[in-house]
Structure 1
Amino acid sequence: MTLTNSHQPFSFSALKRGYANPHKLYDDLRATDPIYFDSLSQCWIVTGYAEVIAILEDERFTSDLGTYSPKSAMGWDAVQATLTQSVFFKDGIEHQHANHYLLKHIAQTAKRLTNDIKTIVHQRFSTLAPDGSMDIVKDFASAISFAATLRVLGIDIDEQQKFIRFLGYSETISDIASGYPVGNAQDLAMLISYLRQQVAQKKKAPSDDLISAFLAAPDIFPDEEAVLSSTLMILTAGHVTTKKLIGTGTAKILDRWPELQAEFVNNPALPKLICEEALRMSPPTRYIARWARQDADLSEQFPGKHHIRRGQKVLLFLEAANYDPRYFENPKEFNLAHRPVKHLTFGFGKHRCPGASIARIEAHASLQELLHLSHLKLDPAHPAVWNPNPILGGFRSCPVTFDPHQ
């Protein structure tokens, strides 16, 4: 799928329109130029594996949303202002210290909460398994990822209706954070107010959770607003990451389900292998943005006219990089042997997602439960529905059926 204009054969607009199946366009873009300037949108589109890594590691590019991201024109400024205050959207020493601190606490949390997360998954699975059908995104993946993220943060929402309502708010904040503002701004303001109360309570009575860990590091998170913004970022990123991995990732391998289920009998480590390939094929975020903080000429490193000007936006398509045939053989095929080349779903190097270990625990536990379901397949009476957000993509809804008696 390309545009007919001979002067602009590719565009960011075309990639957004074709988000459900963009791989032909990725292939064409990569073959033309893995670092391509879209004159229509005035941004650079990066689709190559090595090229994405190079820019992620290049200090001349920044992810500082507070400086470069335009303000919303749809009433979301309060939400965006809160998100952009998070130290995790900054660069330099400040970001490195925060990321290192979070990595340390996430590692400790992963060890401490592994059984709790497995219990969350098992309880949700046990509720749905007797029915013989479910929406693997809405009923299973979304509820699990939200509950697990709340547990990591130290937030306890016992009331089911309140849980469901706040889960919806989190979905909308995920859209806003990715630049796709939909939903009710007033409802989101209520969620931020609720989180603000949680931060204030943790300040008075800290416990063994991530919000308390933020509050215990005033050199990194200097005030309650900094803690609030980082809490909101964790809630958003943690929820959307595992929801897409479990929901969309599982849906993509249903045609091989009998084979995988049979192999699981003799290979208990199979869920971990499936998880990594599902992560490669269905990254939670299709692309991430960087801005050039100064002129950067990449022409010698990557042949072509790649003189990126100060202030220009660069879109790093993690999804395209994960399908780069120069690094992954037959990348459009689900293949458990695609390692040892590492996918870029969780970023790379110092920009690697600190919550990756928690996401993997949730995914491993979920796949372990799902692999006990026989004849798991898409529900022919209720087709899957794509998430209209072109940045996140994946399924918004994916009904499946299975044999509840086996």
Structure 2
Amino acid sequence: MPALLPPIALPNNDADPFSDELLENPLPLHEALREAGPISYLSLYGVYALARYEHVRAALSNWQDFQSSAGVGLSNFRREQPWRPPSLLLEADPPRHDAPRRVLSKILGPRALRKLREDWIADATALVDAVLANGPEFDAVTALAQAFPLRVFPDAIGIGQEGRENLLPYGDHLFNAFGPANSLVANGAVRAPELSSWTNAQCQREALADRGFGADIWAAADRGEITYEQAPVVVRSLLSAGVDTTVHGLSATLFAMATNPRQWQRLREQPASIRTAFDEAVRWESPVQTFFRTATRDVHLGDAVIPEGEKILMFLGAANRDPRRWDEPDQFDLSRDPSGHVGFGMGIHQCVGQHVARLEAEALLSALARRVERIELAGPAVRHHNNTLRAWQSIPVEVTLV
């Protein structure tokens, strides 16, 4: 793809944020974009880039000027056909976004989580006990960060046991598809029809248990709060965004603990810091690194103008390490108040399931803290590359039991 000329007087960056090199380590690019100014131009893709906390947060909150309904990936739905029906939450704006959001916010609210809490803590305890029974060394990604969400979240939705292994590759392809049509997308496209077919089948009323988030969504359709056509798409939103992001958030937390032994000790001594730990890990690692928006009008930002209809790439990971907002942002620190990070988005499109993810993290970390005095790396951790997500493929650890 030929590089496009930058608008006059706008800082130009010809890097490819979706290259293997920068997916492996995006931090140098993040710093360069932050230091270049409030806005840069990525000439390789012809898109505008925001990397400072102030401007990323503002754009995330301003759905009127920075729309999601034209797609939150590089593809512009004004000009291109999406590969699957757009999400009613992530890829929609008011008024189309409002009813599905209200329904999910209620279903995933505090009352529902209180009901799940005891069972999830018991499930986490059983999982940790089973993992530790096999010895002090294990892979924290596969044994814990993947296993626990795949164990409890589909149960909460009400889908069956068979085929749950499809959720991770489906989500991986979905988040890859927000980027350019590179090798990551091509690799996932091989199984995309099969995975999409399986996922869509799980969203139908007859496939879901009589009780659970899925049944509650269909019950909302019975009450006329959403349409029957919308119901399976809302269920799909949970299956699409509720597994991978939590897996990578948990992986980030476990990696942080394995590489910051004093912070693990602090967590064990101060159990109330468990909730802080997950949010600090989401700030520090930002499992969701980027999202796109599209300008609905000519938007002025400082001396620059983002023309109507142009794509804006928001670097959430860069914003979450912006020294203008955070002291010593590259440090994982449980004494920090990480609230206000943009790892779950901001504004009306902020992650509706973030409290569910926090409960999963609290259950798993609590169970681990009761049994494990020390956790440390037992070998090199290996990244998993994704166009949108910052993820780990493997985190080999060794633990010392209490």
Q: Shorter-normalised TM-score: what interval? A: 0.7 to 0.9
1:208, CA displacement in angstroms? 3.1
> Is 1:250 paired with 2:257?
no
Contact 1:34/1:46 (CA < 8 Å) preserved in 2? yes
Quick one: percent identity of the two aligned structures? 24
CA distance in 2, matches of 1:31, 1:66: 28
Q: Secondary structure at the match of 2:243?
A: helix
Q: What is the DSSP-based 3-state SS (H/G/I as helix, E as strand, rest coil) of the residue aligned with 1:402?
A: strand
Please, which of 134, 147, 154 is the counterpart of residue 150 of structure 1? 154
1:314 positional shift: 0.5
Q: Deviation of residue 68 (structure 1)?
A: 8.2
Q: Which residue of 2 aligns with 1:325?
A: 323
Give the secondary structure class of the aligned counterpart of 1:332: coil
Counterpart for residue 104 of structure 1: 106
Number of equivalent positions: 382
Greater Cα shift, 239-248 or 93-102: 93-102
In structure 2, the CA distance between the partners of 1:261 and 1:327, relative to structure 1 (3 Å rule), is closer
Counterpart residue number, 2:389? 392
State which drifts further: 184-193 or 98-107. 184-193
Alpha-carbon shift at residue 348 of structure 1 (Å): 1.2
TM-score (norm 2): 0.85
Alignment pair present for 1:375 and 2:374: yes
Q: C-alpha displacement at 1:229, in angstroms? A: 2.8
Taking structure 1 as reference, are residues 145 and 183 closer, same or farther at Cα in structure 2, changes over 3 Å only? farther
Contact 1:26 1:320 in 2 (8 A): yes
1:232 matched residue in structure 2 = 236
Pairwise CA distance, 1:263: 3.1
Q: 1:288 is matched with which residue: 280, 291, 313? A: 291
- Work out whether residues 172 and 386 of structure 2, in 8 Å CA contact, stay in contact via their aligned partners in 1: no
User: How many Å apart are 1:359 and its aligned residue?
Assistant: 0.3
- Whether contact under 8 Å (1:36, 1:45) holds in the other structure is yes
**Residue correspondence of structure 1 range 1-400 to structure 2 within 5 A:** 10-14=13-17, 16=19, 17-58=21-62, 59-65=64-70, 70=75, 80-82=83-85, 84-107=86-109, 108-130=111-133, 131-157=135-161, 162-163=163-164, 165-179=165-179, 180-183=184-187, 185=189, 187-202=191-206, 207-218=210-221, 219=224, 221-224=226-229, 226-257=230-261, 259-299=262-302, 304-305=303-304, 307-339=305-337, 341-371=339-369, 372-380=371-379, 383-400=380-397
- The one-letter code matched in structure 1 to 2:345 is G
Change (3 A) 1:129 1:337: same
Q: Distance in 2 between matches of 1:123 and 1:182?
A: 38
Letter of the aligned partner of 1:379 in structure 2?
A
- Aligned-partner SS, 1:146: helix
Q: Tell me, what secondary structure is at the counterpart of 1:93?
A: coil
User: Structure 1: which 5+ runs fail to align?
Assistant: none
Aligned-partner residue type, residue 217 of structure 1? A
Contact 1:280 1:343 in 2 (8 A): yes
Distance 1:114 1:54 in 2: 34
Q: Which runs of 5+ in 2 are unaligned?
A: none
Q: Which amino acid aligns with 1:170?
A: Y
Distance in 1, matches of 2:269 and 2:176, equals: 44
Shift of 1:200: 3.5
Amino acid at match of 2:25: N
Give the Cα–Cα distance (whole angstroms) in 2 for the partners of residues 47 and 95 of structure 1: 26
Q: What secondary structure, in the 3-state scheme, does the structure 2 residue paired with 1:289 have? A: strand
Report the aligned-residue RMSD.
3.0
- Look up the SS of the partner of 2:13 in the other structure: coil
Q: Distance in 1 between matches of 2:211 and 2:342?
A: 31
Task: Give, in angstroms, the shift of residue 194 of structure 1.
Answer: 3.8
Moved more, 354-363 or 234-243: 234-243
**How big is the shift at 1:265?**
4.5
Supply the distance in 2 between the matched residues of 1:93 and 1:361 (Cα, whole angstroms): 30
Q: Which moved more, 1:332-341 or 1:353-362?
A: 332-341
Distance 1:297 1:117, change over 3 A: same
TM-score by length of structure 1 reads: 0.84
Query: Residue 105 of structure 2 aligns to which amino acid in structure 1?
Result: L
Q: Which has the higher helix share?
A: 1
- In structure 2, relative to structure 1, the CA distance for the partners of 1:30 and 1:270 (3 Å cut) is same
Residue 202 of structure 1 deviates from its aligned partner by 4.1
**How far does residue 126 in structure 1 lie from its aligned partner after superposition?**
1.7
